[in-house]
Structure 1
Amino acid sequence: MKHLGDYFAMGKYFFVFSFGFLFILGCQRTDKVEKEIAQIDTNMQISRFDREFAKAKPEDIPRLKQKYPYLFPSQYADSVWVAKIKDTIQIELSAEAENQFGNLGEESSKLDLLFKHILYYFPDYEIPKVVTLASDVDYNNKIVLADTLLLINLDNYLGKEHKFYSGIQNYIASGLDKRFMISDVVSAFAQKVVPLPHNRNFLSQIIYYGKILYLKDKLIPQDTDAQKIGYEPDQLAWAQANEEQIWRYFIERELLYSTDQKLRQRFLDPAPFTKFGLELDNESPGGLGRYMGWQIVRSFMKNNDVSLQQMLSLPADEIFKKSNYKPKK
C-alpha cells in the first residue's frame, strides 16, 4: 500500500521532470532563434572618422567636411578645426582611442551581431551608418543615434581608471568602459521603439525602464545582466540579494501609484546609490527602480504569450497585473 508520502515524492519527481523538460525545450527554441539570427546580413558600414581626423593635415579639412558634413557645424571657421588637429589633448585622445580599440575587431563583431538581432525583431529597421569619433569626452553623449546615422564616441570607453576621467564622479566613470558600449547602443535604439509612459506614476516609470532592459535581454543576450543595467557584478549581486526587501519597501510605502516626481531622482536617475532614506543607502547601487521594473517585465513575458513588440506597447498597469510578479527571496 502506498503512503501519502509516496504520492508527494512522486509529485516532486514529476515536477522536477516537467521543469527539466520545459527548460530543455526553452533552450532548444532559443538556439533555433539564434541560428536564424546568425544568418541575417546587416550590410553594416563603419567609418573611422577618429582615425581620419587624427591623421589629417590642415589641407584635409575641406575633404573631411564634404565627407562628414554633420560633424562640422557651419558656424565654425576652418581655423577652428585646424587648431583642433594641432591640439595636444586631442592628439592624445586620438592616440588613446587607437590604443584601446585598434581596428575595432571585437566591437565591430558585437555591433554586427546586435544589428542582426534588431533586424530579426524589427525587420523594417534601416541599419544606420556607423561613425566612430574621439573628441571632448562628452559622457552625456556617448552614443548618438539618428535615423540613418550612429555616432560612437570612443573616448568615452577608455576604462574607468583612465586619467582623462580623473575629475568625473566614480558612479559615472564606472560606465566609461568598452564593455558597456553595445548596451549603450541598445539604450539609444530603445528611444525609438519603447513608447514613453503616458501615466506619471512610479509604476509606469519603473516598467518603462524594465521594457528597455528586457529589450536588451533579447537584443544582446550574450551580455551579462550587469552589463545590460550598467552595474558592477557586486552591485548586481546586491540588487538580487535584496530584491524582496526592495519590493516590500515599495509596497509598504505605497509608492507604485504615487506621482511624486522626487521618486525619479531617488530610484531611477543615475546616482552613486539609491535613496531609500535608510542606513544601508550607501551600500546600494543607484537606479534600483529600473532593476525592479526589469524583474516585473521579465515575469510578465514568462507568464504571457505575447511578442516583444506587443509587450513594448502595453500599458504598465496591464503588464504589472498580468506579470504575477513575486520577488526572489
Structure 2
Amino acid sequence: MYHRLLLLATILLLFSCKKKEGCDIPEEIERIPVTVEIERLEKPFFAANSKQDIATFLDSNPIFAERFIQRRNYPSDSAVINAMHGLATNPELQKLAQEADQAFGDMSTEKQQLQTAFKHIKHYYPEFKEPQVKTFVSGLNQDLMVSDSLLVFGIDFFIGKDASYRPDTYDYILKRYERPNMVPAAMLLLSNRFNKTSFLERSLLAEMVNTGKAYYFVKSIMPCTPDSTIIGYSGQQLADVHHNEGRIWAHFVEKKLLYEKSPFVVNKYIGERPNTPEIDPTSPGRLGTWVGWQIVRRYMERNPKVTLQELMADDDHQKIFNESKYKPEKR
C-alpha cells in the first residue's frame, strides 16, 4: 500500500513552500543587469483588419514568423497570410485572446520571474544573453517556443480552468497548463542549451540523471519557486513521494531497472503517464525524473565545490550517481 503522509507533515511541506516563495535573492545576483520586456504580439495580431495588416505584422516580426509561425512551411506568402488572417478574424479565437488578456494582465509576475531566472543564468554563465520575450494566442497550436534569441509563450494554453477552450490533452497533463507553471516550463526547455548528455547511453539511470540535472538547473535559477510547481506535481503528490522515497528507490533496485535500456521500460518512468502503477496506483507519473532530481541534489550536496556550470557540462551520469551515494532508506 502506498503510504500517505500524516496531515501535519503535509501542512509543514505546504508551509515551507509558502516560505520559499518569499525568499531573498543574494545581492551579487540581484544587481546583475538584465533586460526583460514582454511583447504582447497577440494584441496587434487581433487588431489586424486586412490581409495587408497581417503581411505587415509578419514582416515586422521576422524571427517570430519564421520560428513560431514556421512561415517557410507554407507553400507561399499568400498561403501563410490567408491562414493567419483566418485566425485573426475568427470570433472564437478573438474571444480566447480577450480571456488571455484578462487572465494575464500586465504580466508583471512573469516579468519578475524571468528577471530572476535570467540574472541567475548570467551569474553562472556571464556570456548568456537574455532572449526576446513575446506572447501569442495561436488557438492552442503551440504552448512554448525557446531558442537562443527568442522565447514565446502561447498564453492561451495557460489561461486556466475558466478558459472557453483548453488544450486537448489528458487531465493529468492539463493540470500543469496553469499560469504558475508557465515560466518554469520554459526554463526547463531552456536548460537543454546547457545540459550536456551522452547520446550513446540511454539507460534508465542515464535518463534519470539527465532529467534530474534539468530540474536542478531550473531550481537553481528559480530558487523561490516551489518544487511542486517546477516538476508539476500537486502539493500532496510531492509530499507523498518524499515520504515514500525509500520505497520508490527500492523498486528500481529490486527490479534491476537502473541499467535497463528498453525504450518501453524507460518511458514508463520518464515519460508522461497519469500514475506509476508498477509502484502504486496512487503514485504520480514521471517518478524516474523526480528520483533523478534527488540523485543530482545529493551529488551537489556532497560536492559543494562543483559549480552549476560543471554539473551541466558533465555527461558522466554514472559518476554523478556513484558520488551522490544516493540510497534513501525504505520505511
Q: Could you tell me how far apart the structure 2 residues matched to 1:186 and 1:151 are?
A: 12
- Aligned with residue 87 of structure 1, among 83, 86, 90: 90
Task: Give the distance between the partners of 1:66 and 1:167, measured in 2 at CA.
Answer: 31
Q: Distance in 2 between matches of 1:115 and 1:212?
A: 16
> Which residue number in structure 1 is paired with residue 138 of structure 2?
135
3-state SS, counterpart of residue 47 of structure 1: strand
1:81-108 superposed Cα distances (whole Å, 9 cap, x missing partner): 2222210121011111101101111111
AA aligned to 2:302 is N
Residue in structure 1 matched with residue 263 of structure 2 by the alignment: 261
Structure 2 residue 260 is matched with structure 1 residue 248: no
Cα contact 1:266–1:275 (8 A) shared by 2: no
Alignment of 1:14-163 (within 5 A): 34-58=26-50, 59-69=52-62, 70-71=64-65, 73=71, 75=76, 76-138=79-141, 141-160=142-161, 162-163=163-164
CA RMSD of aligned residues (A): 2.0
CA–CA distance in structure 1, aligned partners of residues 246 and 183 of structure 2: 30
Matches within 5 A, 1:308-327: 308-314=308-314, 315-327=316-328
SS, match of residue 150 in structure 1: strand
Quick one: structure 1 residues 77 and 107, their matched pair in 2 at CA, closer, same or farther if it must change by over 3 Å? Answer: closer
Amino-acid identity (%): 28
Mark the structure with the bigger radius of gyration.
Answer: 1
Number of the residue aligned with 2:171: 170
Q: Secondary structure at the match of 2:26?
A: helix
Q: Distance in 1 between matches of 2:166 and 2:39?
A: 26
In the alignment, structure 2 segments of 5+ residues that lack a partner are 1-22
Query: Which residue of 2 is the match for residue 24 of structure 1?
Result: none
In the alignment, the residues of structure 2 paired with residue 297 and residue 127 of structure 1 have an alpha-carbon distance, to the nearest angstrom, of 26
Residue number in structure 1 paired with 2:301: 302
The 1:167–1:260 alpha-carbon spacing in structure 2 relative to 1, beyond 3 Å, is closer
Paired letter, 1:245 = R
207, 227, 234: which is aligned to 1:225? Answer: 227
5+ unaligned residues in a row in structure 1: which ranges?
1-29
Given candidates 237, 240, 264, the residue that maps to 1:238 is 240
How many angstroms apart in 1 are the aligned matches of 2:235 and 2:252? 24
Partner Cα distance (2:119, 2:167) in 1:
36
1:182-230, CA deviations, whole angstroms, 9 ceiling, x for partnerless residues? Answer: 1111111111111233312111110001101111121110100101111
Matches within 5 A, 1:192-231: 192-197=193-198, 198-231=200-233
Q: Which has the higher contact order (CA 8 A, sep 6+)?
A: 2
Q: What TM-score comes out, normalization by structure 2 length?
A: 0.84
- Check conservation: 1:160, 1:175, Cα contact below 8 A: no
Instruction: Report the alpha carbon displacement of residue 121 of structure 1 after superposing the two structures with TM.
Output: 1.1
Alignment length (residue pairs)? 295
SS at 2:219 equivalent: helix
Deviation of residue 77 (structure 1)?
A: 4.4
